[in-house]
Amino acid sequence: MAGRRKFLKIAGATGIAGLTGLAGCTGDGGDGDGTESGGSGTTSGTTAGTTESGPTDLTFTLTPAESDVDVQQQYQPMFDYLESEADVSITSSVAADYAAVYSSLESGQTDVADAAPAIAIQSADNDVAEVAGIRIAYGAAKYFSLLTTTPDSDIEQLSDLEGETVAFADRLSTSGSIFPLYMLKQAGLDTGGAPNGTPNDFEGQWSDHSQARETLINRDPVKAAGTGAFSTAPHVPKDQFPQQFLDMSAENDGDLGTESPELQLLQCSNPIPRAPILIRSGLDETVKSDVTDALLNATEEDLINEDLSDDQQLWFTGLSEGSVEDYQPVRDAFEELGVELGNA
């Protein structure tokens, strides 16, 4: 099924409602970059429970990677699959951002969640949730973050972005914010309080992966975009990518450089472990085991929504076993940025 659809979707989020999951950072809590509190949906307020004769009720909370995709439609095959394989009844909800996912898990309103690695780390540190599985796409267990610019800009290297505007995805998005900021800091730029606060050497704008790409393309003041490779790699010619990306990335599927307009690669990150599905630590152990086993046994065919077009399908093709230890590279990036993940 690898040729059935383009690899376009990665864990990310819509606009920011305020970083309630970040602590130890300076700066304002939100900067008017899209979605206010509540976002495109709210958690249902239900907690897991069983009846003597019926399935266990679970709430599955999602965060869309891109604003032009109905993430609940994408995930419907997974919900149907879990209901048939794990004897559960799924109610889905859409959170405003990753920080809201963490808050919902912590309060017990969410039982299973689409989450960023940052939330996996924070959840494990506070015994809120566990990694049920790490998502994979066409056999690729790791992915990449890109910083791109337009070919007609005067930006040739990351240090040229001093004093310029850079667009990012969700502030807690690993590939759309944390690793782009990490690369900028390693290039010598002062990232200040970002991602929670304001960078010192450049201006940051946070939204989602597709909006970050489109603002780079359409708004002259924006000189670069930090996104997951799925969002911008089709706009970058293949000969600009490092060999490591070509060897490991699911985006190297014949689509590199095929989308217009052309973008120019400034830097590609090191490989990043893909985003997890989290399951609440306080959930009944039998239910937790049944849901985890079902997730790990899901096939690509189980995750397809035949009513959606190819480019609207779920971005991942299965899950592999994993734990929070797999996300040490992400923890290292947070530490380099001076961000402490904890309760705010």
Query: Which domains are delineated in the chain?
Result: 22-139+275-341 (3.40.190.10), 142-272 (3.40.190.10)
| Per-residue pLDDT reduced to its tens digit, 278-288 | 999 999 999 99
For residue 261, say if its preceding peptide bond is cis, omega within 30 degrees of 0. Answer: yes
pLDDT of residue 21: 35
Output phi, psi for 76, to 5 deg.
-55, -40
Nearest-10 Cα torsion for 28, 30, 31, 32: -150
Residue 52 pLDDT > 60: no
pLDDT of residue 23: 30
Q: CA-CA distances (angstroms) from residue 168 to 46, 128, 281, 312?
A: 33, 28, 31, 22
| Per-residue pLDDT reduced to its tens digit, 202-248 | 999 999 999 999 999 999 999 999 999 999 999 999 999 999 999 99
Residue 20 pLDDT > 90: no
Environment class of residue 198 by beta-carbon count within 10 Å: exposed (0-12), middle (13-18) or buried (19+)?
middle
| Per-residue pLDDT reduced to its tens digit, 144-200 | 999 999 999 999 999 999 999 999 999 989 999 999 999 999 999 999 999 989 999
pLDDT of residue 266: 98
Residue 40 pLDDT > 60: no
53 or 95: whose pLDDT is higher?
95
Q: Confidence band (pLDDT; 50, 70, 90) for 39?
A: very low
Segment 103-122 shows an average pLDDT of 95
pLDDT of residue 341: 72
pLDDT of residue 3: 33
* Mean of all residue pLDDT scores within the chain: 84
Q: Looking at 67-76, 120-129, 164-173, 174-183, which range is the least confident one?
A: 67-76
The DSSP bridge pattern shows strands 203-206 and 165-168 to be parallel
Ranked by mean pLDDT, the top range of 27-36, 37-46, 141-150 is 141-150
What residues form DSSP beta bridges with 250? none
Q: Looking at 13-17, 69-73, 289-293, 326-330, which range is the least confident one?
A: 13-17
